[in-house]
Amino acid sequence: MGEAIGQVLPFGIGVALSPIPIIAVVLMLVTPKARTNGPMFVIGWLVGLAIVGAIVLSIAGPSDASDQGDPADWVGILQLVLGVLLLLVAIKEFRGRPRKGEDATMPKWMGAIDAFTPVKAFGMGALLSGLNPKNLLLAVAAGAAIAQTGIPGGEQAVAYGVFALLGTVGVAIPVVIFFAMGDRAGAMLEDLKNWMAHNNAVIMCVLMLVIGAKLIGDGISAL
């Protein structure tokens, strides 16, 4: 199980460093429903990752991802495909980065965060974690990496749980700061939001480039 956990750590970090969801959480924490919407978004985020993991492991587990201790050929092919897709995401983020003097463009739904109910905050967290293309690619990569170790199903679930918890750290940190610091958290969270918004494209580009290259290397090694 230790090998599986080690394999998924980079993917968990890739999910955790998701600027747009972190910005969304910070915006929720300055609304009147901050004390409910912030935690509900984090819970929804974790549930979204858990659902994706359950689906991926249920498919990869019975598919002989491990061949006598070595990754099966299909796992290597999948890693190559995922690596190339992440490199394409990196290129897209780099090309879409704001030019000098331009403000980063935020999704239109962020303008409605003030009106979010706890249920909508939960649902948005689940959608952003489970259906975001970048997160989906990383979750599939994590599931394949776990399955290829050949460990029992229970240990696979634990390893994926580590990935999901690590992937939730990014959106959980602003909520922890909010509850720990109270009114003093405002300035810190505002600085975090502005920095994430300004550097969103660069963060995503570098992450996808590094993780994509890792997956391509793993895929080549497996074939």
* Structural domain includes residue 144: yes
Portion of the chain with pLDDT greater than 90, in percent: 34
* Structural domain includes residue 152: yes
The pLDDT of residue 104 is 66
**Does residue 132 come out as left (phi exceeding 0), alpha (psi in the -120 to 50 range) or beta?**
beta
* Structural domain includes residue 167: yes
Whether 28 and 116 have beta carbons less than 8 Å apart is answered as yes
pLDDT digits (tens, 9 = 90+) for 95-108: 877 766 666 677 78
The pLDDT of residue 2 is 80
Antiparallel, parallel or unpaired: β 66-67 and 70-71: antiparallel
The two counts, helices (H) then strands (E), for the chain are: 8, 2
68 is in which domain, residue-wise? Answer: 2-100+111-222
* Structural domain includes residue 134: yes
Residue ranges in 61-181 assigned as alpha helix (H): 73-95, 118-130, 133-147, 153-181
Rounded to an integer, the average pLDDT of 1-20 is 88
Rounded to an integer, the average pLDDT of 94-121 is 80
In the chain, how many domains are there?
A: 1
* Structural domain includes residue 106: no
* Structural domain includes residue 27: yes
Exposed/middle/buried for 141, CB within 10 Å: 0-12, 13-18, 19+?
A: buried
* Structural domain includes residue 174: yes
Distance between CA atoms of residues 212 and 79, nearest Å: 9
* Structural domain includes residue 159: yes
- Band of pLDDT at residue 38, cut at 50, 70 and 90: very high
pLDDT digits (tens, 9 = 90+) for 126-149: 999 988 888 888 988 888 888 877
The pLDDT of residue 120 is 95
pLDDT digits (tens, 9 = 90+) for 164-223: 999 999 999 999 999 998 778 888 888 888 888 878 888 888 888 999 898 898 888 776
The pLDDT of residue 124 is 94
The pLDDT of residue 162 is 94
Distance between CA atoms of residues 116 and 123, nearest Å: 10
